[in-house]
Amino acid sequence: MIRVLFVCLGNICRSPTAHGVFQKIIDDQNLSHLFQVDSAGTAAWHIGKTPDPRSQTAAQLRQYDLSGLSARQVEPEDFEKFDYILAMDHENLHNLQKICPSEYQSKLSLFLSFSDMNEDEVPDPYYGGAGGFERVLDLVESASLGFLKELTPGSKA
């Protein structure tokens, strides 16, 4: 089983979107038995809350369901438990690097390093309009397919 943790700041916009998108992609390809997928935030502001309604709406328009997710903060045991800990931006990657034990640092990376798009960060859409949530989905879909292709070369990603 490959364990994947998607991480942003508050775990209500970007990382739950990545969680939902990647989960649907692996479900659609009958690969969910190979993966455990989760998401978390580096900050504790939204623990227990569902994803931002704007994230949920944008995701629903593309057939992704985020409604069953709830925000949580990264925990020390996550570094041992997960095989891949994928940050949405440099700031959160840096925050993870500061709290991650040295033996698990190799598990940390930027999620968009798996994308074929020319960006390395998923921008935070929280203070913007609907277009920002659409952009997050574009980037997350690209990175999800690239990530899956790297992990399962025979997949339809």
- CB half-sphere exposure, 28, CA atoms < 13 A: 14
Residue 155: predicted pLDDT: 61
Residue 107: predicted pLDDT: 98
Residue 50 to residue 71: CA distance in whole angstroms: 6
121 and 113 in contact (C-beta within 8 Å)? no
The 10 Å CB-count burial string (b at 16+, else e) for 118-139 is eeebbebbbeeeeebbebbbeb
83 burial type by CB count under 10 A (0-12 exposed, 13-18 middle, 19+ buried):
middle
Other beta carbons within 10 angstroms of residue 146's beta carbon come to 18
Fold classification of 2-151 is: Rossmann fold (3.40.50)
Residue 157: predicted pLDDT: 61
**Domain ranges across the chain:** 2-151
pTM for the model stands at 0.96
As given in the structure block, the two tokens for residue 39 are: 């998401």
Residue 156: predicted pLDDT: 63
Residue 95 to residue 78: CA distance in whole angstroms: 14
Give the pLDDT means over successive 10-residue stretches in the chain (157 positions). Answer: 97 98 97 97 96 97 97 98 98 98 98 95 91 97 97 72
Active-site residue numbers? 8, 14, 124
